[in-house]
Amino acid sequence: GAVVSQHPSRVICKSGTSVKIECRSLDFQATTMFWYRQFPKQSLMLMATSNEGSKATYEQGVEKDKFLINHASLTLSTLTVTSAHPEDSSFYICSARDRWGPLPGELFFGEGSRLTVL
Amino acid sequence: KQEVTQIPAALSVPEGENLVLNCSFTDSAIYNLQWFRQDPGKGLTSLLLIQSSQREQTSGRLNASLDKSSGRSTLYIAASQPGDSATYLCAVSSVHEAGTALIFGKGTTLSVSS
């Protein structure tokens, strides 16, 4: 199946700093990527939908100025957590849809990035 | 608003047992349903995808069924093994747009003892 690479897998930062997480589709083009957040023992909550070449669409309750999303190419989307605080500590996972894949609607997920804000 | 529920939240079985994980969703107008596996601290591995026009999909020891009218899906695992221990997530996407994201349940955490 299609491969989605996410980097870094783990990051620890001080409160107030910004952290960038990259999501790449390695062997396919992804016009749409999705960013999720997962707290311990909870399910994945959709944060935003990232469309190549346009502004991201954020879910209700997600601050767009805090979680900056850029989808500049068909294979790369980035999530920047700005002025991170301890409550932003979480597991962030990206996913992408293969626009030419055999199964319409199938999503492929990255390995996730664990953010710890001290 | 679509809501996905998974029962049970946790399940412990001895090796070799056949088991069933349940998933229900409130809005039957789905585009597809996908089952995932998640190991602790890891990302998601796609197990099976069922299109809305399909009733079931099989992969090895796994079989997933879909009853759209009743808003239910089941994941059947045959002859469970310790390596099957993980959290299993069910997710659905809306029929209104093929490009919408998946909505997830909270998962069933499976533990298979040897």
pLDDT tens-digit series, residues B2-38: 899 999 999 999 999 999 999 999 998 888 899 999 9
Instruction: Quickly list H helices, chain B.
Output: none
A64-79: average pLDDT: 92
Nearest CA in chain B to A104: B98
CA atoms within 13 A on the CB side of B25: 29
Q: B46 CB near a chain A CB, below 8 Å?
A: yes
Q: Computed from CA positions of residues A30, A32, A38, A41, in that sequence, does the dihedral angle turn out positive or negative?
A: negative
The residues of A whose Cβ lies within 8 A of any Cβ of B are: 1, 6, 32, 34, 42-46, 49, 91, 93, 95, 97, 103-112, 114
A-proximal residues of B, 68-107, CB under 8 Å: 89, 91, 93, 98-107
B70-90 per-position pLDDT tens digit: 999 999 999 999 999 999 999
Q: pLDDT class for A27, splitting at 50, 70, 90?
A: confident
More confident residue, B101 or B95: B101
In B1-114, the DSSP E strands lie at: 4-7, 10-14, 19-25, 30-38, 44-51, 56-59, 62-67, 72-77, 86-94, 102-104, 108-113
> Does residue A46 contact residue B101 with C-beta atoms inside 8 Å?
yes
